[in-house]
Structure 1
Amino acid sequence: MTPARRKTVLVTGFSPFPGAPLNPTERLMHRLAKRLGDHQCGVRFMFEVLPTTWAGRNEVTARLRREVRPDAIVHFGVDGSRRTLNIETRAVNQAVRVRPDATGQAPLRPELDPSAERARTATLPAEALRRAAAGSGVPVRLSRNAGTYLCNATLWDSIGSGIPSIFVHVPALPRGRRDTRPSLALIEEAALRIVKETARRLR
């Protein structure tokens, strides 16, 4: 009898980009990999840092989905305007053209796919993941606004691939003692709980 294929969770962060010279999700991928290893309780984990480029959507991210064939995808990205973790429940068919990517390029058109629907709904259980993350003590909210930059485009693509997917926006790291944004250690704990809950639901 052929053994069952081990379930796989693909977890991604992003490299720095204009406005975010230090992207905490890049560091988060390394820290989660050290804590979780490459498998746990029969579930395999893969941690990847995606380039913050429009070209990377096909050259890197789409290739990962094809080659890894994950059973679930949890994307992490930074949004400097947020002060809490936000679990994104929707991606829209829009691409902002006034904000360049890490190579200075803009998307080719204002829609991600001119022939597709206006919005797509995240396909992992957002509320369950929110509750799991909240157990870390970090404030976590559900959000319907993933923006119109590469975070939104990445979630849009992953949902469209048919793989259960979700996106988590984390705030920029705090600056100084009076800054109430969560530390990287707290973000890491919340992210760990999100990834573990995702894996638990695959078993």
Structure 2
Amino acid sequence: MNILVAAFDPFGGEKINPALEAVKSLEDTIGNHQITKLEIPTVFHKSKQVIEQELEQRDYDAVLVVGQAGGRFELTPERIGINVDDARIPDNEKHQPIDQSIQAEGEAAYFSNMPVKRMVEAIKEAGVPARLSNTAGTFVCNHILYQLGYLQATRFSNIRFGFIHVPYVPEQVTNKPNQPSMAYETMVKGLTAAIRVIDQQDEKVALGETH
């Protein structure tokens, strides 16, 4: 498969984004998959536009976006992106033409069509903590997962799309007491394991949570 792996630039006053640094460290070939890496802005709508432009230029079989989720202990493949975009127009963009894909005619949510449960198990089998997440939040990470679902439903019907959150790295938590972190090498190991099984069928196992 030809897989586009995108990651966000630093945001929130951070000097680095561990998601981006981990993606940069991925091999260009993982199993039978050819990997193309892309940096995207942590900005509503613009992040989607950058990915859409890349999809228009080359044929991809899958798009995986990686983002930071400070406070999480594990790599967390996301199950669903919800539609909060119709109410999320930044003040500095209100005077600009709005992409029709952020309007309310989109679905309420889009489920990732990647084998997210199999990806979680593959990450764990590689010795890296992982958990299936049922919420990507309401920031740009959720936005891009939702927009990937919209693009798959309306323009690129053959692609698989998904999102994985990664924790902070140790250097980010030196002044953040009690915050978990993970080494870059561990993230890369887990992401590689997840990407390796992107073309497989998902497992029929229950991965629900009680909290």
TM-score (norm 1): 0.79
How much does 1:59 deviate? 3.5
C-alpha distance in structure 2 between counterparts of 1:181 and 1:42, whole Å = 30
| Aligned: 1:24 with 2:18 | yes
Matches within 5 A, 1:9-158: 9-32=3-26, 36-37=27-28, 39=29, 42-95=32-85, 97=88, 112-158=102-148
AA aligned to 1:159 is G
The offset of 1:42, in angstroms, is 4.7
Task: Write the mapping of 1:157-168 to structure 2, written as runs, cut at 5 A.
Answer: 157-162=147-152, 163-168=159-164
Equivalent in the alignment of 1:169: 165
Structure 1: 5+ residue stretches without partners: 1-6
- Structure 1 segments (4+ residues) deviating >6 Å: none
**CA separation in 2, counterparts of 1:192 and 1:112?**
32
Structure 1 residue 183: Cα displacement: 1.2
Match of 1:182 in 2: 182
The amino acid of 2:65's aligned partner reads H
Number of aligned residue pairs: 186
Equivalent residue runs for 1:183-198 within 5 Å: 183-198=183-198
Give me the whole-angstrom Cα distance separating, in 1, the residues matched to 2:187 and 2:30.
Answer: 21
Query: What amino acid is the match of 1:76?
Result: V
Using the aligned pairs only, state the percent identity.
24
Structure 2 gap segments, 5+ residues each: 153-158, 202-211
RMSD over aligned Cα, in angstroms? 2.8
- 70-79 vs 167-176, which moves further: 167-176
Q: Is the 8 A contact 1:92 1:156 kept in 2?
A: yes
Shift of 1:139: 1.6
Check whether the contact 2:79–2:133 (CA below 8 A) recurs between aligned residues: yes
Partner of 1:11, secondary structure, is strand
- CA deviation profile, 1:10-52 (whole Å, cap 9, x unmatched): 11111011254320011112210xxx22x45553210111111
TM-score, normalising length: structure 2? 0.76
Question: Cα deviations across residues 150-198 of structure 1 (Å, max 9, x unaligned)?
Answer: 111111121222221110011111235x865221111111011111222
